[in-house]
């Protein structure tokens, strides 16, 4: 609805029409990255402590350190190849570092639609998460209402929380429905909790990060513009 309104407002300004033909842009999206790598260029496996495979992958903007205890996120890198998505979170060093694998919650909104999936009690989260990755386990949303923390366990994936200053995940694209893009929020279910980004708890319009796996081809955006132009002509 909003996208249609925007498209009409922008009328036939070509550049604007191409932008709005893409997925709806939420004001709370802080960053949208896409970092394709060669198949198998990144290794995620417990016991593999070589992080040089992440060299050259940009970080998303940093989370404050000291805003949480036990698990305190600093930054994330995300990349993908033909089969998998890879995430690498840096953690602030702790006085008493612990692994806490299952306390790392990664909320993935794979349809880029906040009105589907988990959005937290009272809707305090910025996205509607269709999948949850909790340590090495992954789940699909199963709540009867969007504020119900209810999930179907689907299986396990490669997750490495050793050493304790970072975590790495390898998510097969197929197990999260082969999305072209997803919005993400990272949460440490410790006390106090850490949210990354911090603005993720601001509800609708709150902050989140987006990762794009398959960019929308410009030709499709132009096709959308053509259909729109024909529709407009018919309406007159
Ligand atoms: Ca933090
Ligand atoms: Ca959703
Ligand atoms: Ca935070």
Residue 13 has pLDDT above 50, yes or no: no
CATH of the domain at 108: 2.60.40
Q: Find the 225 Cα to ligand 1 centroid distance in Å.
A: 42
Q: Find the 210 Cα to ligand 2 centroid distance in Å.
A: 13
Asked if residue 13 belongs to a domain, the reply is no
3-state secondary structure 164-200: CCEEEEEEEHHHHCCCCEEEEEEEECCCCCEEECHHH
Asked if residue 235 belongs to a domain, the reply is no
Residue 184 has pLDDT above 70, yes or no: yes
Helices (H), 77-211: none
Residue 31 has pLDDT above 50, yes or no: yes
pLDDT in tens, 47-66: 898 999 999 999 999 999 99
Asked if residue 53 belongs to a domain, the reply is yes
Average pLDDT estimate for 197-212: 96
Rounded Cα distance, 71 and 50, in Å: 21
Cα distance from N-terminal residue to C-terminal residue, the chain:
21
* SS3 label, residue 134: strand
Q: Find the 74 Cα to ligand 3 centroid distance in Å.
A: 8
Closest C-alpha among 101, 106, 100, 74 to residue 87? 106
Q: How many domains does the chain have?
A: 1
Identify the pLDDT of residue 228. 55
Residues flanking ion ligand 2, Cβ below 5 Å: 109, 111, 113, 116-117, 128, 130
Q: Find the 79 Cα to ligand 2 centroid distance in Å.
A: 21
- 117's tokens: 């999936």
pLDDT in tens, 68-86: 888 999 999 999 999 999 9
Instruction: Say which residue, 167 or 98, is predicted with more confidence.
Output: 167
The residue segments making up the domain with residue 76 are: 22-222
Rounded Cα distance, 231 and 228, in Å: 5
Asked if residue 35 belongs to a domain, the reply is yes
Confidence of residue 163 (pLDDT cuts 50, 70, 90): confident
Asked if residue 147 belongs to a domain, the reply is yes
Asked if residue 150 belongs to a domain, the reply is yes
Taking every pair of C-alpha atoms in the chain, what is the biggest distance, in angstroms? 69
Average pLDDT estimate for 206-232: 75
Identify the pLDDT of residue 12. 37
Counting ligands in written order, the one closest to the CA of 146 is: 2
Asked if residue 5 belongs to a domain, the reply is no
Percent of the chain at pLDDT exceeding 70 = 81
Asked if residue 234 belongs to a domain, the reply is no
Percent of the chain at pLDDT exceeding 90 = 68
Counting ligands in written order, the one closest to the CA of 74 is: 1
- 11's tokens: 């009328």
Identify the pLDDT of residue 92. 93
Residue 214 has pLDDT above 90, yes or no: yes
Residue 1 has pLDDT above 50, yes or no: no
Counting ligands in written order, the one closest to the CA of 177 is: 2
Residue 202 has pLDDT above 70, yes or no: yes
Q: Find the 71 Cα to ligand 1 centroid distance in Å.
A: 8
Residue 188 has pLDDT above 60, yes or no: yes
pLDDT in tens, 111-129: 999 999 999 999 999 999 9
- 216's tokens: 């929308």
Counting ligands in written order, the one closest to the CA of 129 is: 2
Which helix or strand (DSSP H or E) is residue 112 part of?
none
């Amino acid at each position: 609805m909003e996208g249609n309104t925007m498209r009409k407002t922008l009328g036939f300004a070509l550049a604007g029409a191409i932008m709005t033909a893409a997925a709806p842009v939420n004001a709370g999206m802080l960053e949208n990255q896409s970092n394709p790598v060669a198949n198998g260029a990144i290794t995620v496996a417990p016991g593999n402590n070589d992080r040089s495979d992440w060299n050259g992958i940009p970080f998303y903007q940093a989370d404050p350190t000291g805003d949480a205890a036990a698990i305190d996120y600093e930054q994330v890198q995300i990349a993908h190849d033909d089969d998998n998505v890879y995430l690498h979170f840096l953690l602030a060093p702790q006085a008493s570092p612990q692994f806490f694998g299952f306390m790392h919650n990664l909320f993935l909104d794979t349809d880029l639609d906040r009105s589907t999936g988990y959005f937290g009690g009272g809707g305090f989260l910025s996205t509607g998460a269709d999948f949850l990755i909790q340590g090495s386990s992954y789940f699909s949303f199963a709540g009867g209402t969007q504020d119900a923390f209810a999930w179907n366990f689907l299986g396990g994936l490669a997750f490495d929380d050793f050493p304790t200053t970072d975590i790495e995940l390898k998510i097969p694209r197929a197990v999260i429905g082969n999305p072209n893009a997803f919005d993400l929020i990272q949460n440490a279910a410790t006390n106090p909790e850490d949210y990354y980004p911090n603005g993720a708890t601001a509800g609708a319009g709150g902050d989140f990060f987006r990762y794009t796996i398959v960019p929308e081809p410009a030709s499709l955006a132009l096709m959308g513009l053509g259909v729109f132009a024909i529709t407009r002509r018919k309406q007159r």
